[in-house]
Amino acid sequence: MTNLKKRDCGGCTVCCTELKVDTPEFRKKPQVPCQHLTAKGCGIYETRFPICREFLCGWRLFADLNDGWRPDRSGVVIVRLSPDNVPPDYRAPGYGMQLDIVGGEAAITRPGFAEYVAAQVKRGVAVQMSAASPATLVNAHLDPATVARDMAGTRATLLRIFAMLHAARWKKGIGMLVPLYRLKLAQQKAMVTKAGKG
Ligand code: SF4
Ligand code: SF4
């Protein structure tokens, strides 16, 4: 269950660099620091754009995430997804989440990361992951039975997904097709396995 905690950002400014913004008042590309970002935080804080006032990352929203999950500490920006933005099979919980991995492999191996993802998958919450790359639906790679009994296997699968996403991130043009194809293949394999078990 989500719980609107609404913590303060403190010293974190990760979303001001990592996220894409596309609103009438303000646009910025992902993985590029906002032009208004300074060493002391937002340089136009009092007059910042509506999206900047309204946006709350998952760490600010979900009470079950402790202080170690603040994005500048965890290397993960969690964005809450509305039910319309998740596949129909995963709409029952009323929301989904996108995990943008900005801290590399260390973010995946950090204690508590795999356990948190496993808990969401067990509850049927759609979990998408990206690493400055196209996103993939983690649930398609991990079935609830696996995450319930095999945390080491769950962590290894999450690392494999991250490696594929990371490869997709850096390849340009036609070279990007190979990792994306592998990603799709792995996703299809996971879905076939899941269907076979059902
Ligand atoms: S990522 Fe979250 S905690 Fe960090 S600045 Fe953005 S909203 Fe605040
Ligand atoms: S305007 Fe300020 S709050 Fe908004 S993205 Fe830029 S630095 Fe961050």
Q: Examine the domain organization and report whether 94 and 149 are in the same domain.
A: yes
110 and 141 inside one domain = yes
Report the nearest atom of ligand 2 relative to the CA of 51: 4
Is there a single domain that holds both residue 192 and residue 145? yes
Do 1 and 29 fall into the same domain? yes
pLDDT tens track for 86-128: 999 999 999 999 999 999 999 999 999 999 999 999 999 999 9
**100 within 8 A of 18, measured Cβ to Cβ:** yes
Q: Indicate if 91 and 147 belong to the same structural domain.
A: yes
pLDDT of residue 172: 52
Question: Of the candidates 48, 68, 88, which is a domain's last residue?
Answer: 68
pLDDT at residue 64, rounded to an integer: 92
Contact 42, 28 (CB under 8 A): no
Is residue 64 located within the same domain as residue 157?
A: no
Judgement on whether residues 61 and 81 belong to the same structural domain of the protein? no
Which of 49, 68, 87 finishes a domain? 68
Q: What is the pLDDT of residue 5?
A: 62
Q: Are residues 21 and 93 in the same domain?
A: no
Whole-prediction pTM value? 0.84
Number of domains the chain is built from:
2
Q: Which domain holds residue 27?
A: 1-68
Residues 30 and 83 in one domain: no
Last-in-domain residue among 37, 68, 99: 68
pLDDT band at 170 (very low <50, low <70, confident <90, very high): low
What distance in angstroms lies between residue 38's CA and the mean position of ligand 2's atoms? Answer: 9
Q: Given ligand 2 and candidates 12, 16, 28, 77, which is best to mutate, with the most ligand atoms within 8 Å of its CB?
A: 16
Same domain, 19 and 52: yes
Distance 53 CA to ligand 2 centre (A): 9
Percentage of residues in the chain having pLDDT higher than 90: 70
Identify whether the C-beta of residue 148 lies closer than 8 Å to the C-beta of residue 122.
yes
Q: Are residues 30 and 9 in the same domain?
A: yes
pLDDT at 147: 82
Residue whose entry in the numeric block shows the structure tokens 């919980």: 93
**What are 39's two structure tokens?**
């060493």
Closest-lying ligand 2 atom to the alpha carbon of residue 13: 8
Same domain, yes or no: 18 and 62: yes
Confidence of residue 186 (pLDDT cuts 50, 70, 90): low
